[in-house]
Amino acid sequence: MSLLELRNISKIYGSLRALDNVSLKVDNGEWLAIMGPSGSGKSTLMNIIGCMDKPSLGEVILDGKDIAKESDKGLTAIRRDKIGLIFQQFHLVNYLTAVENVMVAQYYHSIPDEKEALEALDRVGLADRAKHLPSQLSGGEQQRVCIARALINHPELILADEPTGNLDEANENIVLDIFRQLHNEGSTLIVVTHDPEVGEVAQRMVTLEYGRIKSEVVNQNFGK
Amino acid sequence: MTKQKMFLRMITASLIRRRSRMLVALLAIAVGGTILSGLVTIYYDVPRQMGAQFRNYGANMIFVAADTETALTMDAAEEAASVIDSGDLLGMTPYRYETVRIHEQPIVVAGTDIESTKITSPYWHIDGSYPASSGEVILGSDVAELLGLGVGDSFNATYSTGDDSDSDEPNLGVDMKVSGILETGGSEENYLYMSMDDLNELAGEKDSLQVVELSISAMQEELRSYVEQISENSDAVAARLVKRVTQSESTVLTKLQALVFLVTAVVLVLTMICVATTMTAVVTERRREIGLRKALGASDKSIIGEFMGEGLLLGGIGGLVGSVLGFVFAQLVSVNVFSSSITFQPLLIPITMVVSVLVTGLACLLPVRSTMAIDPALVLKGE
């Protein structure tokens, strides 16, 4: 069953079509990689799927609901309740500790629970760094805090924008291992990346070019 | 953990861990609070301080005999003065004037309570000393010049009622000694001052006064009220305000209080501008964080609440610091300008804190409202 379905969506800025008649389905529990060169429309698509923007044309059905028709307030609620975001630049609040950064997501979602936040950090291997400020953590550690924050509210969709873009190979492998683990647990993952190595580990890989889907490849070796 | 606890944890973490940034705003609020608290203290303490200062210019009320009476007695004056609050009545000095002859010159003598003149006429400048014993007098400088007398000189004064020619006994007068020469630059220099007992000995005992001077620690309105009460209660005494003193006192006080009010208002506006500027800088600096919070699902209301929370907490802390520093400031002003200390008003702490919180809240309103326009998508793009 589809968790997300894009039906002929376009995003038009004046004479520019950042997205041009894109249709895509993402099933529950699927791991999808969206690839493409700079300016291909990846970020625009990511913003629309992440409920931070609306398409000019078309429908975006998330969990059976057309989010293209939602108000800004409605989109904020969907973002809070259904989507976990992972950023290339981590975007941690610099004056909050690792565990407090995870709790911020709980704070907006429901009730902050420090024990649960510590468990989420433990899951990404950062239990002993919970009381550290972002400035005291390495890039890989900051990204893992960002992942713990994205997971804490058990979102239906995890959306990662270039999650390994600022990491070295060792940390990239750690992050991809976490993604594998999440996928095995049934999470739905959409990873936007320009890195073929990251794209190729996904179940399916969609490539964008000039705002259109250029190719769609199913990873035959996935899970082997 | 409740949401309220997390809210407090976030805003206190922001203030404590970003203290170098927030210090500027805190400083602005604390300075505003200091000036507010200090000037309000001075504003309310100025009448008392100035009242004490103005008492140096002499009596501000006089008693004379009512139109229906031929003379004023001390008993009638004391009875009339009973309506004045004992704490306000600083001094009361009777004056009886008689003309005596000294070195064949007619001189006006004022019999008075010498000790009391030190309170009702503190501006008297005595070259020499106040009379210490019976027979000692103070000469007004003009009288001293006329008679050619100086400090320590003795002289003989005679009093004539006009019917001495029938008397068999010669009028030998009374010997007196000059203890001091009075200089005021005013009409007081034309008189000779002696104790009431000495005047009674010289001119005969008479319970009849021309005027009683009073020094009262009160503002013009209160003095007017005393005058009205005295005119209602006493038939023998007519009370009058020394307008030269009371009017200038009132004018100076009104102007001084208006100045203090104006300075306070200007400082509050400047504080507001400074806090608003700092908060605008804070919001601009934290655009990415605001975008992130929105991306995580924070509503505009929630973001505004967090920033306002930070601002109001800053306002409260700044107000508390300001109210304490304000007292120190007011104390310094009071000691240096009025040479007296002020009393601490505990109520000023909550008042300063509330005003600081309101001013900070108002100053934060516009910059914080601008957070609503921040697009979370910018954060994802890394812009």
pLDDT digits (tens, 9 = 90+) for B301-338: 999 999 889 888 989 999 999 999 999 988 888 888 87
Domain match, B47 and B31 both: yes
Tens of pLDDT, residue by residue over B142-151, are 999 999 999 9
Domain match, B180 and B205 both: yes
Round the average pLDDT of chain A to a whole number and report it. 91
Domain match, B25 and B85 both: no
Q: Does A135 map to a domain? A: yes
Q: Does A161 map to a domain? A: yes
Find, among A217, A197, A218, A198, the residue nearest to A207 by Cα: A217
Q: Does A20 map to a domain? A: no
Domain match, B38 and B67 both: no
Predicted confidence at residue B27, as pLDDT, reads: 87
Q: Does A85 map to a domain? A: yes
Q: Contacts of residue B292 in chain A, CB cutoff 8 Å?
A: 91, 93
Domain match, B34 and B126 both: no
Q: Of B241, B272, B288, which marks where a domain is finished?
A: B241
Residues 10-29 of B with CB under 8 A from A: 10, 13-14, 17-18
Half-sphere exposure of A32 (CA within 13 A, CB side): 23
Find, among B363, B364, B355, the residue nearest to B33 by Cα: B355
Q: Is the pLDDT of residue B383 over 90?
A: no
Domain match, B212 and B279 both: no
Q: Is the pLDDT of residue B170 over 70?
A: no
Predicted confidence at residue B171, as pLDDT, reads: 66
Predicted confidence at residue B167, as pLDDT, reads: 53
What mean pLDDT is predicted for residues B205-220? 86
Q: Does A61 map to a domain? A: no
Q: Of B218, B241, B264, which marks where a domain is finished?
A: B241
Predicted confidence at residue B7, as pLDDT, reads: 93
Q: Does A150 map to a domain? A: yes
Query: Higher confidence at residue B71 or residue A23?
Result: A23
The b-or-e profile of B233-263 (16+ CB within 10 A means b, else e) is ebebbbbebbeebbeebbeebeebbeebeee
Classify burial at B75, counting beta carbons within 10 Å of its beta carbon; exposed 0-12, middle 13-18, buried 19 or more: exposed
Q: Contacts of residue A77 in chain B, CB cutoff 8 Å?
A: 297
Q: How would residue B87 be classed by pLDDT, with cut points 50, 70 and 90?
A: confident
Most confidently modeled range among A208-212, B160-164, B337-341: A208-212
Secondary structure class of A56 (helix, strand, coil):
coil
Predicted confidence at residue B70, as pLDDT, reads: 76
Q: Is the pLDDT of residue A191 over 90?
A: yes
Predicted confidence at residue B59, as pLDDT, reads: 85
Q: Is the pLDDT of residue B380 over 70?
A: no
Q: Does A10 map to a domain? A: no
Tens of pLDDT, residue by residue over B102-120, are 988 899 999 999 999 998 9
What CATH number is attached to the domain comprising A42?
A: 3.40.50.300
Say if CB B218 and CB B65 are below 8 A apart. Answer: no
Domain match, B201 and B283 both: no
Q: Does A82 map to a domain? A: yes
Q: Of B213, B241, B269, which marks where a domain is finished?
A: B241
What is the distance in angstroms between the Cα of A80 and the nearest Cα belonging to chain B? 4
Task: Tally the domains of chain A.
Answer: 1
Domain match, B111 and B178 both: yes
Domain match, B169 and B73 both: yes
What mean pLDDT is predicted for residues A57-67? 90
Task: For residue A80, give its domain range.
Answer: 25-54+72-218
Best B6, B287, B296 member to test A by mutation, with max A CBs in 10 Å, is: B296
Q: Is the pLDDT of residue B382 over 70?
A: no
Task: Tally the domains of chain B.
Answer: 2
Domain match, B229 and B149 both: yes
Q: Is the pLDDT of residue A83 over 90?
A: yes
What mean pLDDT is predicted for residues B291-297? 91
pTM confidence score: 0.70
Predicted confidence at residue A113, as pLDDT, reads: 93
What is the distance in angstroms between the Cα of B25 and the nearest Cα belonging to chain A? 18
Task: For residue B111, give its domain range.
Answer: 59-241
Extract the tokens encoding B102. Answer: 């000294």
Domain match, B95 and B191 both: yes
Domain match, B63 and B119 both: yes
